């Protein structure tokens, strides 16, 4: 079956589910626009990354097993977060290092789990979704997306095809935004200092919109922009592309 006819299963990311449901809806609209059937298991919650990154592996394993049970029947899993895909694709292996049976199941799921921009560009070969945005956009490379999954060019291609949009690269786009999960509230001053560099680089582009592929970084950037009273908007790439 050609990829364009292949149904996808939405792995929504807990942060999107709870705080940014509009991002999940944008992903759904993108696949509807492409005429690709989309499923969404309603029992899903979280892949386990927050626990894993803080060291709570037993708890992360428990979440991961549930994730595997829920998504095991899905053929193509798409997620609007590079960080969560990195977790499923790469860290599940560490999590089940001592458990060959679960490790096998995790590996199989990992191979079928894609980040949204990666799925659109690499699997579907779609770069132009017919979206329009009139203004200047700058793009933030999220760390796990960039260094974990090697995704840098795909989102940029998608943005370049947006009508009326001008992509302006920020300085040090590949540098961390300072979020780091629990790091952001456990070491707030260090986190904010790193974030401020990011915000400074965003502002310097003159863009009126920051786009990224991970709501976690974007939530932090948006939270700082809001605090300093900036008018720069923040959107997940799905929202930009869904139009």
Partner 1 sequence: MSEIRTEYYRDGARKAQQDPVLQSALAAAQSRIGGATAKAYMDFPEGPGLRLLGHDIRMKAIENLDILLETLVENIQKKGGHVHFAKDGREATEYCKEIALSRGVRRVVKGKSMVTEEIGLNSALMEEGIKVTETDLGEFIVQLAGEHPSHIIAPAVHKTRREIGKLFSEKLGIPYTTDPPTLTQAARKALREEFLSADMGISGCNLACAETGHITTVSNEGNIRMATTLPKIHVVFMGMERIVARLEDHDILLRLLATGAAAQKMAVYVSYIGGPRTPGQQDGPEEFHLIILDNGRSRILADEEFREILCCIRCAACLNVCPVYGKIGGHAYGHTYCGPIGAVLTPLLVGVNRAKDLCMGETLCGACQAACPVNIDIPRMLLSLRAKLADGDPQWSVTRSSLMEKAFYMAWAGMVRDRRMYELALRAVSGAQKLLPRREGWVHRLPPPFHGWSIHRDMKPVSGKSFIRRWSETHGRRGEGGNEPR
Residues 37-66 that bind partner 1 (CB under 8 A): 39-46, 48, 50-59, 62-63, 66
Q: How far is the CB of 192 from partner 1 (least distance, A)?
A: 4
Nearer to partner 1 by Cβ, of 135 and 226: the residue is 226
Within 158-187, the residues that bind partner 1 by CB under 8 A are: 174-176, 178-187
Q: How far is the CB of 164 from partner 1 (least distance, A)?
A: 27
How many Å apart are CA 171 and CA 200, to the nearest integer?
9
CB contact at 8 A, 113 and 147: no
Within 105-134, the residues that bind partner 1 by CB under 8 A are: none
Q: How many CB atoms lie within 10 A of CB 236?
A: 26
Nearer to partner 1 by Cβ, of 128 and 174: the residue is 174
SS3 160: helix
Nearer to partner 1 by Cβ, of 34 and 161: the residue is 34
- The torsion angle over the Cα atoms of residues 98, 101, 102 and 106, rounded to 10 degrees, is 110
CB contact at 8 A, 138 and 169: yes
The answer to whether residue 227 forms part of the interface with partner 1 (CB under 8 A) is yes
Binding segment for partner 1 among 70-78, 114-122, 125-133, 158-166 (CB under 8 A)?
70-78
CB contact at 8 A, 178 and 193: yes
With helix as H, strand as E and coil as C, how does 167-204 read? ECCCCCCCCCCCCCCCHHHHCHHHHHHHHHHHHHHHHH
The answer to whether residue 103 forms part of the interface with partner 1 (CB under 8 A) is no
Q: Which of 1, 2, 73, 125 touches partner 1 by CB under 8 A?
A: 73
Nearer to partner 1 by Cβ, of 73 and 100: the residue is 73
SS3 34: coil
Q: Which of 72, 108, 153, 169 touches partner 1 by CB under 8 A?
A: 72
Q: How far is the CB of 135 from partner 1 (least distance, A)?
A: 21
Q: How many CB atoms lie within 10 A of CB 201?
A: 18
Q: Which of 69, 99, 108, 153 touches partner 1 by CB under 8 A?
A: 69
CB contact at 8 A, 79 and 11: yes
Nearer to partner 1 by Cβ, of 122 and 197: the residue is 197
The answer to whether residue 74 forms part of the interface with partner 1 (CB under 8 A) is yes
């Amino acid at each position: 079956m050609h990829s364009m006819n292949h149904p996808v299963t939405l792995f929504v990311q807990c942060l999107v589910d709870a705080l940014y449901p509009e991002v999940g809806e944008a992903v759904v609209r993108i696949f509807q626009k492409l005429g690709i059937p989309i499923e969404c298991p309603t029992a899903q919650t979280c892949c386990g990354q927050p626990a894993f990154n803080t060291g709570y592996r037993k708890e992360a394993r428990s979440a991961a097993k549930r994730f595997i049970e829920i998504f095991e029947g899905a053929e193509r899993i798409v997620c609007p977060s590079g960080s969560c895909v990195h977790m499923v694709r790469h860290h599940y292996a560490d999590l089940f290092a001592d458990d060959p049976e679960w490790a096998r199941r995790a590996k199989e799921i990992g191979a079928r789990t894609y980040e949204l921009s990666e799925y659109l560009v690499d699997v579907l070969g779609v770069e132009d979704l017919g979206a329009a945005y009139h203004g200047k956009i700058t793009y933030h490379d999220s760390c796990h997306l960039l260094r974990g999954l090697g995704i840098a060019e795909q989102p940029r291609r998608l943005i370049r095809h947006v009508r009326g949009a001008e992509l302006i690269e920020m300085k040090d786009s590949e540098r961390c935004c300072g979020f780091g999960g629990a790091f952001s509230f456990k070491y707030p001053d260090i986190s904010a200092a790193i974030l401020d560099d990011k915000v400074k680089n965003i502002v310097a582009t003159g863009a009126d919109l920051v786009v990224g592929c991970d709501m976690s970084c974007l939530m932090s950037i948006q939270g700082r922009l809001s605090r300093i009273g900036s008018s720069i908007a923040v959107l997940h790439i799905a929202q930009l592309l869904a139009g």
